[in-house]
Each structure stands twice: as C-alpha cells, then as structure tokens.
Structure 1
C-alpha cells in the first residue's frame, strides 16, 4: 500500500477545497515527466491528470490530479520533494499528512483553511527539504 500526501487549496476559510489550476499543475510537473505523455492530457474518465516525475537526483513520485485534489503517490526521499513544494507554492495550496492527519502549509495559506483545521497545522517555509521533514520526520 502506498503513502500518498494529498494537496488541496482552500479559500477564505471555506470548508470545501476550491478548484486547482490545471495550467499551473502542468507547468510545474511536465518538465519532470518521465511516464507516458498521453496520460498527462487529461483523457481519463474524470479528466484527471497523471504524472510520473523524476527529479535530478533520481527520486520519483507518481502524481494524480483532478479538479480539486492532487495525490502524491509513493514519493521517494530526495529532490522530488522540491518539485512537490514548488507545486504547492504555485497553487497556494496545503498538504494533508496521510499518517498524522495534520496539515502542512505556508503562513500565506493558513488563514484560508477552514477554522476546524487551523489548530492542527505545521507552518513551514515551503521548500522540498522542509516539506519532507514535516511529513516524514527525516
């Protein structure tokens, strides 16, 4: 079973995630795509995007995106976290920790979270290293 941090964007304290910008997702992930380029076209049943990204150090992750959520499936340790952090920053989004149930975000996104989520947040500078440490402890 894979470990998959989830990325969502919230606005103005609303309880429901808001739509993600597919152009921003593509702009960040396509330069690192090493999988089947036909899958990034959004041709799936739900119009979702699929990426298999590889960072310069060889670390990888499978990334699945739909209109309101991105799943980062089985991210390796290493520079792939830089790609994920860039994606989160570009989208103005937050990351849900699948193991602890908390949220990781920049200070800029904290105020946009629903009030019910604001207490269990780890606020970080959104870098690959800081995000990896916040989610994995290493």
Structure 2
C-alpha cells in the first residue's frame, strides 16, 4: 500500500483550502522532473510530475487548483523538495494515515480552528517534514 501525503493552503482560518499558485508549483518542481515533459498536464489541466532528488529518492506529484498529492514518496531528499514546495506556497502538509497537519509557525495561524489541536508545527525542512509525517525523530 502506498503512502501519499497531500499539500493544501489555508487562509484566515477558513475551512476550505484556497487556490494554489500553479506557476510556483511548476517553478519548484520542473528542475527535478524526470518524467516526459509532454505529460506535465493531464487531460483535466492539472499538473503532474515525477521528481527525483539528488540521492535518487522519488515521488509522483499531482497538482490541482486546491491541492497537491505526493504519491509514494521515497525516504530521503525528495522530502526536501516537498518541504521547499510547501514553504514557498505558504501551505501545509497533511498526513493521510492520521489526518494530522504538519506546518510552519506562520501557516499554523491560517489553519481552521478545528485543525489546530492536532497540528504539528515544525521548521519546514525535508528532514523534519519526513520525520513529522512518518512519525520518526529527525537525526
């Protein structure tokens, strides 16, 4: 079974995620994309990437207007790419198994009140994001 966290952006405590800057998503992910560039857009117009970090870790990423799915990320450097994406978007990561929100201090203030009690606030680095999502302590 695959593990696939998601990324969403909230504003001013609203319960519904706000639209993402898909041009920023492309700017962050395209340098790491190893897939066929002709397949960057799916038939619905959403973005799709197959990214690889310098250490060989990979993930498939699907981005739409209000959410990003990070499908089956390998442990390692790929979490650094995802952390950069989350940080630059001003977004949060959602742990699919626990429904837990992982975010920076700045983004915590934008979460809906109902999500704040279970949120894990971290410095948004790859190592810390991976540890928070997978329930490990960073080295």
TM tier relative to shorter chain: over 0.9
Q: Partner of 2:5 in structure 1? A: 5
Q: Partner of 2:47 in structure 1? A: 49
Contact 1:46 1:66 in 2 (8 A): no
Aligned residues: 136
Structure 2 distance, partners of 1:137, 1:96, is 13
**Aligned 1:89-128 pairs, distance under 5 A:** 89-128=87-126
Structure 2 distance, partners of 1:136, 1:124, is 14
| Runs of 4+ off more than 6 Å | none
CA positional deviation for 1:83: 0.1
SS at 2:133's partner residue?
helix
Q: Partner of 2:20 in structure 1? A: 20
RMSD between aligned alpha carbons?
0.8
SS at 2:18's partner residue?
coil
Query: Scaled by the length of structure 1, what TM-score is found?
Result: 0.96
Q: Does structure 1 residue 63 correspond to structure 2 residue 61?
A: yes
Unmatched tracts of structure 1, length 5 or more? none
Unmatched tracts of structure 2, length 5 or more? none
CA positional deviation for 1:45: 2.9
Q: Partner of 1:30 in structure 2? A: 30
SS at 2:12's partner residue?
coil
Q: Deviations over 1:27-84 (max 9, x none)?
A: 11000000111122x3x23210000000000000000000000000000000000000
Q: Deviations over 1:65-112 (max 9, x none)?
A: 000000000000000000000000000000110111110000000010
Query: Scaled by the length of structure 2, what TM-score is found?
Result: 0.95
Structure 2 distance, partners of 1:17, 1:134, is 21
Structure 1 distance, partners of 2:30, 2:111, is 28
Structure 2 distance, partners of 1:39, 1:125, is 33
